[in-house]
Structure formats: structure tokens, C-alpha cells
Structure 1
């Protein structure tokens, strides 16, 4: 079994292309993982990986080994999870990647009352605004806006369409005025969102009738966290472009006001997606928990693709 663990560790490194990420996924230290790979190479008397300070790649022998063992390890892990049924209760680990907004408004609220029912199912939730390859990074479930779901995934709609609004504090509008069209945003302080994937700033998108406008906004403040953007807007530091449900309470409390409402953009709601119909009992239960607690308005609008 120790040798099987070594092969699984090797496959994890190749899959994510990083010792650091693979060690985090496996729950071990990076030095321990490095020693495991060295031991495997020593036992086989073959160099499997080319490693620099910036990247990891397979040698010819390493690529051949990966192509051979990776699918078999995945099958073994899947079968071990399925064997949990023989105990009369589902067991296993389900790893979920979702946007920060989806975790806060959908994933955690729906899993919270569900967790006590299945104490042997472990849940790992990663809040990440970048689009994640769930196969490469060994996640079981991804949750993203409908338009961002890869075509080869099984996808299920779990939320209504998402409306984004431009908000600012009453004090900000009193001092700087209120933009009447997206073109006037360049005269305002816009609180920007830094994209994790490419490092650029998120463009603000607007639509009115058949016209669509994309604004390259900028200002004094840039964040990669929605809650910080809300706090900055409430404090009067500028305008923010955010999901309406995230700022609804602040609007009702009079802390924020909307503008450019006629130009507000709606996006296809959040979809849960996963890579294979062959799923463990634990994964099926989590999928059903997230589907069955779908927000009002999303039921009956499931969208399943193979």
C-alpha cells in the first residue's frame, strides 16, 4: 500500500503541475512529498520529473507512468468510496470549488443544516474566483455561473439569474453626483476587482435593449474580495459593481443606493457541475443537497448536459 501511495502522490504532482498544490491536496508537507517522489524514482531507477523553481514537467518515463497509473488510481478511489455503501452509510471526502459569492450565498447556507445528517462525509470548500479545472485539481464539484460551465461537464442549475448593480453610498452621490450612463463612469472612483487568473481588473458590463457596453473601470481601490468592496462602498470611497443579493441588506438599510439601474446586466444563474456520471454515494448526496435547496425561482429549471 505504501507503493500505491507513492504512485498516487506522483499522479497528484503531475495533475496540478506543482509540488506545493499537490502537497496541500494530499495533506502533507512539501518536503515530505518531495522525499516520496525521490524514493519512487530511486526504486524505479528512473527520473520521472523535471523540476525547476517555477515549474514541474514529466520526463518521457514520467509521462508514460502517469498515463498508466492515473486512471487506475482514480478508479480505485471511486470504488473505495462506493464500498462505503456496504457499511450502510455513505463515507468519503467531497471537494467543492466555487466563487466566493456562491460559497457565501448558496453553498454554505445549504450545507449547514445538511451536515449533521451525514457525519462520515467530509466536506472541503475552496472559495476561489478563478475558473478551476476540477479534473486537473481533483475537485469533485464546481459551482460557477451558467455561462462559465465547460461543455463536457454535467451541469445542474441551482440558482436564478444573477443581476449585478452599481452601488454607492448616499454621501458619495451627494459629493460626486450620479452617473446617468456607463460612459460617465470614467469621471467616478470605481472600486475594482482584481481577477485571480490573469491579474487584470474585472470589466463592468452593461446592457440596455440590444446595446451592450463594456467599461474598463479604475479608481483608487482594488480588491479581490466582494465583502471588502461592499465595505469600501458603504464608507463612501467609490462606486462598486456587485451582485444585487450581496448588497440588498445595505440598500434596505440606506447605506447604499443603486445607479444605472436601466443598464443592469443579468447573467445565467449558478450551476453545479461535475465531470462524471459515475459518482460516489457521498458525492450524490452533496449534489442532491445543493439541488434540493435551490432558491425559489430556480426549481424546475435544471439544465443537465453531458
Structure 2
């Protein structure tokens, strides 16, 4: 049966506010403009983003793409009301992946979906995205904001990011043909769990009996929620000069799968990563989670980065110099093992 009510319906009546969406675009245009770099105008509003590889200085480039989200770390943002760093996480998870292939990140696009658009929240998220892009030299050239009534709980949203990078042909990583037993493994420190393992993180918090507003047992001066929302570290500025100089043979971004599953992804089958676990600079957050959750060392290592955000395979005779340069660039870095011949 049809209704006798002849009142004209609008999109806003259905839960989608086009004016709010337009206002959000106006708010984030200056943020995107801040990320402008050679090759990109970083102007929003068109049907597609444009990037000029020649203007960016490439001669014979190979493109490298990546996409990712931030998983259930979003739940902590919802519960704490802290949304200003989750956008940095989004950029970092994508950008660090293409960096591990030896590519310079060039441009980024984001997808923000929610049931009801809250301009303040969305703008805070995009501010974080712009900050991450600026820190990684990556232009924010477009994105999509989707308001979808009935799809998400009140105050919830989802994020996805997309990055494209480039490297000159022949310079991609890993350089497996150049790897040999005895090559050094250099660990580059993380800022915390980054954006992986947060389903387990949240179970540990639940078992601890602490509220997210309570003081973090492992981070003086921060609430538990704020400490666990510490953004994922970006490694572009510190690692790109070493990559372009040809001093790195392989990079493993330590994400889901931790220190167990990620290092083999940069290696040929005849080589294995012999990590000296006693050398690791394990952050207090991981020690706290292991203790409270009763989590075994193996489970910790295959779930979390344990304080190592990137692992680089480098020539043994250059390892100490690379560590020194990374430290000078503001990283925590140390020699954490070596490559060895795979047994069997």
C-alpha cells in the first residue's frame, strides 16, 4: 500500500545531508593543499586526482600501490573520543608498505564512511590524514566521504586508505639476488603496536580491569586510551635516502604476523632471518600486555611488532654506519641479527 502523505521527501529526510558533506569538503581543502608536492596540485573537487610523474622527477618509473585500514584500533577512537591521530595511522599503514618495496610515496586517497556525518569528527580524522601525508611527502589528492544511514552505529565510522608510489625501474626492493648469508638485519623502532593486534589489545584491557580514562601503567602522563592510540610511525624521511643510495637490500614492514611472518616476505627461499630476540628494544606496552594477558613470547612475536616497526637487510660492513644515520634521523635503530642459509 502507498502512503497518503504527500509531503515531499528529501535526501536529508533519508539521513544524508549533502550540505554537511559540501561543508566538510570546504574544511578539508586547505588541509589537502598543505600536502602539495611536485607532480600534484592537491586540489579537491574534481572527478579524479591527477599526478604528473615527470614533474616529480622520474625518468622510467614503476608504480607501486597499497591499500589498508587501521582495524579495530578505531574502536578505541570511538570509546575515547580521540580522533586526531587515527588518520596518521591510516597513512602510515599504507605508506610504509610501499616504502618496503623501495618506492617513494607520491599520492594518497582516503575513504571515510559513516552512518551520520559529524563534521568535527570527520575533519579531525582528515587533519590526521593530511599530517601523515605531509610527514611522508605524499600528496592528498582526493577521497570519498560516504554518509550511509543505518550502516553504522551512532558515532562509528570506517576508514580505508590508498597510496601510489614509484621507483625507477630496476631499483625496487627486495633485491633478493644481492642477499647473502651474513647480511645484517637492522631493526628500526616502532612507536607502539602501530595498527595491528588491536583485537587482542582490547581483550587485554578488558582483563586488566582498567578504564581507558585511567592512567596508563606503561606511559607516564597519558591515559590508557591515549597511550594505546599513539600513532603508527612513518619511516619515509629516514629510510628513503638509504633506499635511493642503494644501501638497503630488503625491508620488512612489521605488521600483522609480527616478527614471525613478515621478515620472510623480503627474503628468497634459500635465506632465513636469524633474529636475536635478546637484542630487541621491547617497549613497555608490550611487556604490560604480555604480563596482564599471560601471552606467550611466541604469540606476542607473531601478533605484535614488539618495538620493531621495520626490519632492514643490509650489507654487514655497512650496518653500523646505517644504524648511526638512522639514529641521526631520529630513529631508534640497532643490529638485530643476520641472514642465514635456510636449513633443509
Report the TM-score, using the length of structure 2 for normalisation.
0.23
- Largest Rg, 1 or 2: 1
Q: Which has the higher helix share?
A: 1
